[in-house]
Amino acid sequence: MPPPPRVLISEKRILRRVGALAREVDAWSRGGRVVVVGVLNGSILFLADLVRRLRSPVVLDCIAASSYGTARTSSGRVLFNRRLRLNVRGAKVLLVDDILDTGRTLAALSRFLRKLGARRVEACVLLRKNVPRAADVSARFVGFDIPDCFVYGYGLDLRERFRNLRDIACAPPFENETRMKTARRQPEKRAEDLGGFPAGARPSDGG
Ligand code: 5GP
Ligand code: MG
């Protein structure tokens, strides 16, 4: 039997935070035409939960970008493999992605949307990894700040698997294979021990 996932952020915490993010987005989106652009595939569950909690009228489109392939580290090149169907000229665009890591994906997509004539482009990410960014980019709306570990679940994959996991889990690093064997016999770490806090909150705030 494979070891159980090391849960970093539980479904309950995710959904509570997504509700709060939706209210932040509502406050921002007042006035003007808002186009929500989801970045496939990783953002799909987050996108679905977020948009159905929005009260403001938005239109929805998706774009596909990949920089990872099947590896755990970014290839550095961002590939777009789906065209937008909606016209974004003059619109406020909310880019919705699963995670801000190196920042290359969001930087490339923001550039692309501005070229298409978007009036404003803001990013909303569920997770923001605590790593140096390779591209000058920031997200206006952030669900959780997480440590530098490879995460999966709630839309994010681990070699294409586990996107349907309801929680977000942290994959054990490859180099810890031997230590992992011993760790498996120890009790699972709680999410709070691993990190993963609502953006802007201190660990003691409880999330
Ligand atoms: P960036 O361009 O910011 O380096 O990476 C963004 C994309 O890489 C995300 O949209 C996501 O698809 C993927 N990514 C980055 N970190 C992780 C991770 O920890 N787990 C998974 N499954 N995907 C990740
Ligand atoms: Mg992605």
For ligand 1, the distance from its centroid to the CA atom of residue 160, given in whole angstroms, is 13
pLDDT of residue 181: 43
For ligand 2, the distance from its centroid to the CA atom of residue 154, given in whole angstroms, is 12
Tens digit of pLDDT at every position of the chain (207 positions): 777 889 999 999 999 999 999 999 999 998 878 999 999 999 999 999 999 999 999 999 999 987 755 556 655 677 777 789 999 999 999 999 999 999 999 999 999 999 999 999 999 999 999 999 988 899 999 999 999 999 999 999 999 999 999 999 999 875 334 334 434 433 444 444 455 667 766 443 333
Dist. CA 120–CA 53, nearest whole Å: 22
pLDDT of residue 126: 98
Number of Cβ within 10 Å of residue 68's Cβ equals 15
6-194 in CATH: which number?
A: 3.40.50.2020
Q: Which residues of 157-186 are buried (b: 16+ CB within 10 A; e: fewer)?
A: bbeeebbebebbbbbbeeeeeeeeeeeeee
For ligand 2, the distance from its centroid to the CA atom of residue 64, given in whole angstroms, is 8
Phi, psi of 20, rounded to the nearest 5 degrees: -65, -40
CA-based torsion, 12, 102, 50, 200: positive or negative: positive
For ligand 2, the distance from its centroid to the CA atom of residue 75, given in whole angstroms, is 13
Give the dihedral of Cα atoms 93, 21, 9, 48; nearest 10 deg. -60
Ligand 1 atom closest to Cα of residue 42: 12
Question: In this structure, what token pair is assigned to residue 55?
Answer: 């009260």
Question: In this structure, what token pair is assigned to residue 114?
Answer: 């501005």
pLDDT of residue 15: 98
Q: DSSP string of 40-52?
A: ETTTHHHHHHHHT
SS3 content of the chain, % helix, strand, coil (to 5): 25, 30, 45
Place of tokens 């000058």: 136
Ligand 1 atom closest to Cα of residue 108: 2
- The reported pTM is 0.84
Phi, psi of 91, rounded to the nearest 5 degrees: -95, 160
Number of Cβ within 10 Å of residue 95's Cβ equals 27
pLDDT of residue 104: 93
Q: Is 61 a catalytic residue?
A: no
Q: Which of 49, 98, 101, 167 is catalytic?
A: 101
Dist. CA 197–CA 147, nearest whole Å: 9
pLDDT of residue 184: 42
CB 67 less than 6 A from any atom of ligand 1? yes
H or E stretch at 124: strand 120-129
Phi, psi of 171, rounded to the nearest 5 degrees: -80, 140
Q: Residue 129: nearest ligand to its CA?
A: 1
CB 102 less than 6 A from any atom of ligand 1? yes
H or E stretch at 112: helix 104-115
Q: Residue 155: nearest ligand to its CA?
A: 1
